[in-house]
Structure 1
Amino acid sequence: MTDLKALSAANAARWAEAKSIRNFSTVAARLVSAPAKDRYQAVSAKTGVPWFFIAVVHEREASQNWNTQLGQGDPLGSVSVHVPKGRGPFKTWEDGAYDALVNCAPFAARNRDWSVGGTLTMLEQYNGLGYAARGKPSPYIWSGTDQYVSGKYVRDGVFDASVVDQQLGCAGLLRAMTQLDPTITFTGAKIVPAGRAPSPAPKPPPANPSIHAPAKGSLGAFFVDLFKSLFGRK
């Protein structure tokens, strides 16, 4: 079983060192532009998954084709045949995206660590942990950077060490997107979906009662209030 904490640390370290060896800017500009960003943000508001995570998954799975399912890039109007299988059909891209993020492994909507390491590791889980099990950087994340050389699962469960992934990886896309859109940050904070209020902050414990500040409802509080009423003190 893959140690996800160790993988998060490894991905964060790769992020700090990675250099792009391909051009990510053109695709990144398309992903952050309206109306695409508006649609990603609408799904983010319902799921709690950052919109930029949704954007790069959409690019990797379907080259941002709005007629496909976010889960695996299968046609929106058909039942999916690739993992996750048996999903759909869906009327809208947003419906399929919600299903993929909320109802399908790795259940991205349950993630609460959206730091760089946490985000990249959730993306890696989205594609599968086969590369991590082999001790290799995932091309789903690192293709197009100096962190990846070769090796690819050419179909579900079939790995070919000689194949080089030709798609742009999520890490390079995210880095290019942050340069175009300064609202993209990796704070690691919990993201609360719309309509789900965050838990209220706990109230501070009451101060220890004393003769000057007796506990509310106590006999001491009664005499203090009586003293104030008789002598007009406030």
Structure 2
Amino acid sequence: MSRIVLTEELQTEYQRLFAACDIREERAADVDERVDAIMADRDRYWTVGRRLNLPWFVVAVLHEADTGHDFTVHLHNGDPLTERTRHLPEGRPAEGEPPFSWEDSATDALCLSYWDQWSDWSIAGTLFKLEGHGGWSYRLHHPEVPSPYLWNCSTYYSQGKYVTDDSWNETAVAQRCGVAVLLRRLAERDLIEFAGAGEPAHGPLLRYAETETSPWVEALQRFLNTLPGVYVKVDGWAGPRTSEAFHKLTGRYLSGDPRAADRD
């Protein structure tokens, strides 16, 4: 069982990080190259996802992160598909005879890790499941380093990684693109869409609200602070000052601001 649970606070953290994620300029071409490769094989990921009721893009980023987009090896551990796995988990897939198709092996690997039993494919739910798959050691033992399994190639991560399961190196740098960064780029290119818990079903993402915080408002506040003469606290609260700064930018107050109603 995971030692981490998906609390409301953690959901907000994932949403905030994903909303404000910036891909490092020097890695942008690499990220786009990986996204192009993913899209070229979308149908293969969709086939596996359909079997297990998973979003195809979750299968895709797992394949990219865990085996480097290699269709000749088991998703379980990178052993060749020409025989059952020899390393842990050993002897997989248990059914069928080698050589195995990548789709059959990937289906077995995902079932073995209970991906088919997860149902929250919101941004927060997806990132929680992916971070757990990559390992909680960063969050538990090195919280100053955002997990590179999620965030490598973004401005959140620079260095520090586990070079083995229990060996930490503070100067080592991860190489493969983080899965959250790949998802972010897929979303930026309008190639995927998240759904489910934690995502607004309808209405504006940005609303005047003095009683609750929002990662979308926090992202807006960061942007507003880049404008001349605008100084708002980055706290996720869409109060009068944030709405006033939004008005300075757009000529309109945030939806729900009483001043907006007065002008209607």
The two structures have a TM-score, normalised by structure 2, of: 0.64
RMSD, aligned CA = 2.0
* 1:148-193, Cα deviation, whole Å (9 max, x unpaired): 12221212332222211011111111122223343x111126xxxx
Residues 1:163 and 1:17: Cα distance change in structure 2 (over 3 Å): same
* 1:17 CA drift (Å): 1.7
* 1:58 CA drift (Å): 0.6
For 2:227, the equivalent position in structure 1 comes to none
For 1:46, the equivalent position in structure 2 comes to 51
The amino acid that maps onto 2:4 is T
Which structure has more relative contact order (CA 8 Å, sep 6+)? It is: 1
For 1:170, the equivalent position in structure 2 comes to 179
Q: Please tell me whether Structure 1 or Structure 2 has the larger radius of gyration of its CA atoms.
A: 1
* 1:63 CA drift (Å): 1.4
Quick check: 156-165 or 15-24, which moved more?
A: 156-165
* 1:90 CA drift (Å): 5.8
* 1:137 CA drift (Å): 1.5
Correspondence 1:19 to 2:22:
yes
For 2:13, the equivalent position in structure 1 comes to 10
Task: Work out the number of aligned pairs and report it.
Answer: 184
For 1:195, the equivalent position in structure 2 comes to none
Q: Partner of 1:4: helix, strand, or coil?
A: coil
* 1:186-233, Cα deviation, whole Å (9 max, x unpaired): 1126xxxxxxxxxxxxxxxxxxxxxxxxxxxxxxxxxxxxxxxxxxxx
* 1:87-123, Cα deviation, whole Å (9 max, x unpaired): 346611111111111122xx11111111111111111
Counterparts of 1:175 and 1:117, CA distance in 2:
13
Instruction: Return the match for 2:36 from 26, 29, 32.
Output: 29
Residues 1:30 and 1:14: Cα distance change in structure 2 (over 3 Å): same
* 1:81 CA drift (Å): 5.0
Correspondence 1:186 to 2:188:
no
Counterparts of 2:5 and 2:159, CA distance in 1:
23
* 1:85 CA drift (Å): 4.4
Q: Does the CA-based 8 Å contact 1:2-1:132 persist in structure 2?
A: no
Counterparts of 1:81 and 1:133, CA distance in 2:
31
Residues 1:10 and 1:73: Cα distance change in structure 2 (over 3 Å): farther
Q: Partner of 1:159: helix, strand, or coil?
A: strand
For 2:132, the equivalent position in structure 1 comes to 125
Q: Does the CA-based 8 Å contact 1:70-1:100 persist in structure 2?
A: yes
Counterparts of 2:92 and 2:5, CA distance in 1:
29
Counterparts of 1:86 and 1:7, CA distance in 2:
36
Counterparts of 2:75 and 2:106, CA distance in 1:
5
For 1:69, the equivalent position in structure 2 comes to 74
* 1:4-25, Cα deviation, whole Å (9 max, x unpaired): 3344432222111211002111
The amino acid that maps onto 1:14 is L
Structure 2, gaps ≥5 residues long = 198-264
Counterparts of 1:156 and 1:82, CA distance in 2:
15
Q: Does the CA-based 8 Å contact 1:29-1:180 persist in structure 2?
A: no
The amino acid that maps onto 1:29 is D
Instruction: Return the match for 2:103 from 70, 73, 94.
Output: 94
Q: Does the CA-based 8 Å contact 2:83-2:100 persist in structure 1?
A: no
Counterparts of 2:17 and 2:47, CA distance in 1:
31
Structure 1, gaps ≥5 residues long = 190-234
Q: Partner of 2:175: helix, strand, or coil?
A: coil
Residues 1:155 and 1:74: Cα distance change in structure 2 (over 3 Å): farther
Q: Does the CA-based 8 Å contact 2:21-2:184 persist in structure 1?
A: no
Quick check: 44-53 or 148-157, which moved more?
A: 148-157
